[in-house]
Chain A
């Protein structure tokens, strides 16, 4: 029982702050995104090269999905939700790189992302509908339901966090068990399944965040 999946694997310390492998992977993903998007693509051109065209396909696919959920112009929400999806996709797929561990498989990263979603739901709700009207929807069908509405807000954020964490961590754990039981080639199908799970979880996290934001701005019935 020494290889607990809940304990972060500490690589080194900066001062007294322990830096775990998942934090280093997060920095790697951030550096990769920055270098690929800013340095190698540079400023967007009208005559798109192959790299920019490929990126535009991804961005337009995300925007199209958001448009279908929100039923309104998705572009104000693209900086948050689009980068959430791209970051989560890369983070969940980090398991296939040797030496990297998916940061979403440890509790801190999903907790931080769920907190960002929780705060931005209120931010977009207040910005779109005004504070009075936005907080008024907590009193909606009946003022007696206020505690349940607040509780629902908190538990859905909690389950957003636990869902991502549980899926990624359990998958990592399954691979560890399979590697422990049987040698070299056997874990490969599980790794392929992990690619599928990672992309689906990134999609689900983004879509749920979109649905929550849509509920806050009054576009979607939640």
Chain B
């Protein structure tokens, strides 16, 4: 196993781990804020949860980008022949 493969595996691990930590944290904050808002105004729950879902999808896209980069490094690495 040559040098580039080892470095790309480490790179994939770093991409996935940081791409999991920060979206998880920010999704937690978004859900907490939405729950607080729903607890205050239960009649707005429909609008809030729809906006929450769209927002969560936006945040999750960042994690998915990291995953795609990691998979590219592992399976479609342009530097490995």
Interface residues of A (CB under 8 A from B): 1, 4-6, 65, 68-69, 159, 162-163, 166-167, 169-170, 173, 200, 203-204, 207-208, 211
Contact = CB atoms under 8 A, between A and B. Distances in A.
B53 A170 contact: no
Contact of A204 (B53, B68, B74, B75): B53
B34 interface: no
A3 B65 CA distance: 21
Contact of B75 (A4, A163, A207): A4
A163 B57 contact: yes
A173 B58 CA distance: 22
Contact of A162 (B50, B53, B61): B61
B-side interface size class: 10 to 19
Chain A contact residues: helix, strand, loop or mixed? helix
A1 B58 CA distance: 31
Interface of B: 46-47, 50, 53-54, 57-58, 60-61, 64-65, 67-68, 71, 74-76
Given A166-B64, A170-B67, A173-B71, 13 more contacts: A1-B75, A4-B75, A4-B76, A65-B50, A68-B50, A163-B61, A163-B64, A166-B65, A167-B64, A170-B64, A204-B57, A207-B54, A208-B57
Contacts of B60: 163, 167
A203 B53 contact: yes
B75 A6 contact: yes
A155 to B, nearest CB: 10
A6 B68 CA distance: 10
Nearest to B65: A162
Contacts of B67: 166, 170
